[in-house]
């Protein structure tokens, strides 16, 4: 966290607050997605969540004079569309789907290896340094994922949840990297709004199915789905984008390490579910690997993205 001292104090507070808020909202998303899975299938839940997000983000954009100064150019539109489809649409669908087959804690333990994937991608595409520490962390994380997979045993449903959670982790990482490019061209709020709109448009073919399922869903489920759009989607992605403009992509993504612990506690309290013991051990090892890969000394490479 030593790089925080390079920013003015108000910026430090806002950026750290944005990260904390994002982590809490994203943790709640795992629990809610698991809780409402019996009533809403993955695609309708994703579309409903994004529609709510678009409404909130449009209002925020309209109220923000500063955001209106950052009119998107063609490159911003291209990158925002790409990250919107990867992150808002495809990631959200895979995320929702995984919760039909595995508990919230297990899904979070797998999805949150994404900082490691972000670091690898940043090295491949942004010329950030791929160190021995990163490779060591990757090896440790793979061992942890192997234990989580073993915890699923031969149960096909558990295996499906693990594979979908891994897919979500890759989509999250890809979206993070493309988002970084979009943020070079426009403001965090504008980029988030463009991404959410792009993701929503890509899921509109499933509007009929969404209307059908919403018509029979309980009010509690609908409120939870709308919260997923307002909090973990609109506000959290905006906060995340703001933090991404202040700190390196891999460094911001590393804060997601705290999400699984919060999810496990929330899941135990509200859903009375816990991952299998072997999965918890594997998840801890996997996150240890991410931590090893993301740990850096006080001196940062000159070519690291900021």
DSSP codes joined into one string, 62-115: HH-HHHHTS---HHHHHHHHHHIIIIIIIIHHHHHHHTTTS-HHHHHHHHTTHH
Does any domain span residue 304? no
- Mean per-residue pLDDT for 272-299? 77
Structure token pair of residue 234:
């609109």
Structure token pair of residue 220:
């509690």
Cα separation of 226 and 237, whole Å?
15
Lowest mean per-residue pLDDT among 2-11, 68-77, 118-127? 2-11
Q: How far is CA 306 from CA 12, 192, 244, in A?
A: 14, 19, 8
Does any domain span residue 4? no
pLDDT of residue 43: 97
Does any domain span residue 195? yes
Does any domain span residue 305? no
Q: Which residues contact 32 (CB under 8 A, 6 or more apart)?
A: 224, 227, 228
Residue that wins the pLDDT comparison between 230 and 14: 230
pLDDT of residue 201: 97
- Mean per-residue pLDDT for 242-265? 76
| pLDDT tens digits along 172-181 | 999 989 988 8
- Mean per-residue pLDDT for 229-243? 84
pLDDT of residue 228: 95
- Mean per-residue pLDDT for 101-123? 85
Cα separation of 194 and 79, whole Å?
9
Does any domain span residue 299? no
Residue that wins the pLDDT comparison between 233 and 99: 99
Select from 170, 173, 149 the least CA-distant residue to 161: 149
Q: How many domains does the chain have?
A: 1
pTM: 0.81
- Mean per-residue pLDDT for 92-115? 90
| pLDDT tens digits along 185-234 | 888 888 889 999 999 999 999 999 999 999 999 999 999 999 999 999 88
* Number of C-beta neighbours around residue 153 at 10 A: 11
Cα maximum dimension of the chain: 56
Degrees to nearest 5, angle at CA 218 with 215 and 221:
105
Per-residue pLDDT for 281 more than 60? Answer: yes
Give the structural domain span for 68. Answer: 10-294
| pLDDT tens digits along 20-47 | 899 899 899 999 999 999 999 999 999 9
pLDDT of residue 241: 74
Does any domain span residue 127? yes
* Number of C-beta neighbours around residue 16 at 10 A: 16
* Number of C-beta neighbours around residue 58 at 10 A: 14
Mean pLDDT of the chain: 83
Q: Helix-strand-coil percent breakdown of the chain, rounded to 5? A: 80, 0, 20
Cα separation of 96 and 87, whole Å?
13
Per-residue pLDDT for 9 more than 70? Answer: no
Cα separation of 88 and 138, whole Å?
26
Does any domain span residue 3? no
Cα separation of 169 and 116, whole Å?
10
Does any domain span residue 302? no
Structure token pair of residue 267:
């899941």
Select from 149, 55, 156, 145 the least CA-distant residue to 100: 156
């Amino acid at each position: 966290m030593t790089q925080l001292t390079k920013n003015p104090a108000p910026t430090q507070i806002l950026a750290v607050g944005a990260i904390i808020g994002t982590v809490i909202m994203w943790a709640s998303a795992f629990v809610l997605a698991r809780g409402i899975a019996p009533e809403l299938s993955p695609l309708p839940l994703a579309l409903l969540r994004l529609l709510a997000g678009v409404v909130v983000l449009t209002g925020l954009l309209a109220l923000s004079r500063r955001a209106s100064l950052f009119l998107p150019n063609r490159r911003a539109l291209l990158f925002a569309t790409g990250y919107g489809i990867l992150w808002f649409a495809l990631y959200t669908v895979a995320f929702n789907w995984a919760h039909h087959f595995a508990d919230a804690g297990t899904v979070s333990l797998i999805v949150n290896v994404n900082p490691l994937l972000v670091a690898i991608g940043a090295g491949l595409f942004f010329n950030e340094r791929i160190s021995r520490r990163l490779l060591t962390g990757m090896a440790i994380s793979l061992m942890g994922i192997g234990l989580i997979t073993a915890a699923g045993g031969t149960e096909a449903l558990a295996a499906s949840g693990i594979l979908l959670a891994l897919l979500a982790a890759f989509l999250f990482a890809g979206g993070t990297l493309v988002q970084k490019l979009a943020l070079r061209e426009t403001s965090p709020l504008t980029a988030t709004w463009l991404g959410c709109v792009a993701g929503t448009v890509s899921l509109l073919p499933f509007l009929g199915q969404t209307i059908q399922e919403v018509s029979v869903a309980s009010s509690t489920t609908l409120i939870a789905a709308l919260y997923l759009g307002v909090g973990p989607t609109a506000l959290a992605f905006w906060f995340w984008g703001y933090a991404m403009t202040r700190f390196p992509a891999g460094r911001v993504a590393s804060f997601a390490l705290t999400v699984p612990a919060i999810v496990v506690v929330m899941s135990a309290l509200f859903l009375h579910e816990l991952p299998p013991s072997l999965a918890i051990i594997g998840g801890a090892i996997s996150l240890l690997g991410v931590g090893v890969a993301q740990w850096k000394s006080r001196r940062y490479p000159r070519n690291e993205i900021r």
